[in-house]
Amino acid sequence: MYGRGIYALRDVSLVVEKGEFVFLTGPSGAGKSTLLRLLLRQELATEGSVKVAGRDLAKLTPSQAQSYRRAVGFVFQDFKLIPSKTVLDNVGIVPRVLGATSVQQQRRTFQVLKWLGLQHRMNAYPLELSGGEQQRVAIARALVNEPALILADEPTGNLDPDLSLEIMNLFRDINSRGTTVLVATHNRELMRHVGRRSITLDHGHLVETA
């Protein structure tokens, strides 16, 4: 709730199974981003509960919350890459912050960049990349710590249709390796192409699951 009785989400009850790929859709202001922030534990629910792998996120201690976030990868619509750092450094910042040794950091970073076909761009800077390449770098950053859960907020919103399809196929590949994937999008054509379960929100309410 955001003050004065205004609810971003209300009476929303849903289950996403481990290893599932689910789309979260609905118009702007429907509550999609709020739900993702709750799952990332950037915000806490004022009522009800949010549980991931059986754990109530509101009841985690600070150290448990930090550990939980290590198991979650987040992909933004606008990439959020650091312009002054190379692709290698943008992706490697996650394992470095989490305490990986220099050797571990370099190995993990190179492996994920190679998997996404970006190893030849690892010394480039974000502004030297295409939009599709920047989004793949953002996905690499989310994947480098081998998260159990990937959350993506309108990850194709700034891309053309062909690149959008490429990115969505990449999420499908990630899911095929066992990672749970939750993607917020308003692009129903992409949803039809991928053919996974969808959850529709409208004005903070769950209106459809298909």
Tokens of 147: 């998260």
Q: How far apart are CA 87 and CA 161, in angstroms?
A: 24
100 CB-side CA count, 13 A:
18
Q: How far is CA 190 from the centre of its chain?
A: 17
Question: Residue 78: inside a domain, yes or no?
Answer: no
Question: Residue 76: inside a domain, yes or no?
Answer: no
Same domain for 4 and 108? no
pLDDT of 28: 83
What's phi and psi for 206, nearest 5 deg?
-80, 120
**Within 10 Å of residue 190's Cβ, how many Cβ atoms?**
19
pLDDT mean for each 10 residues of the chain (210 residues): 62 90 89 90 87 91 87 87 94 81 85 91 95 92 90 89 89 93 90 90 83
Same domain for 156 and 196? yes
Q: Could you say which of 146, 168, 194 is where a domain stops? A: 146
Split into its structural domains, the chain has a count of: 2
Q: How far apart are CA 95 and CA 65, in angstroms?
A: 17
pLDDT of 5: 56
Residue 152 structural domain: 1-71+147-210
Same domain for 64 and 155? yes
Q: How far apart are CA 131 and CA 78, in angstroms?
A: 9
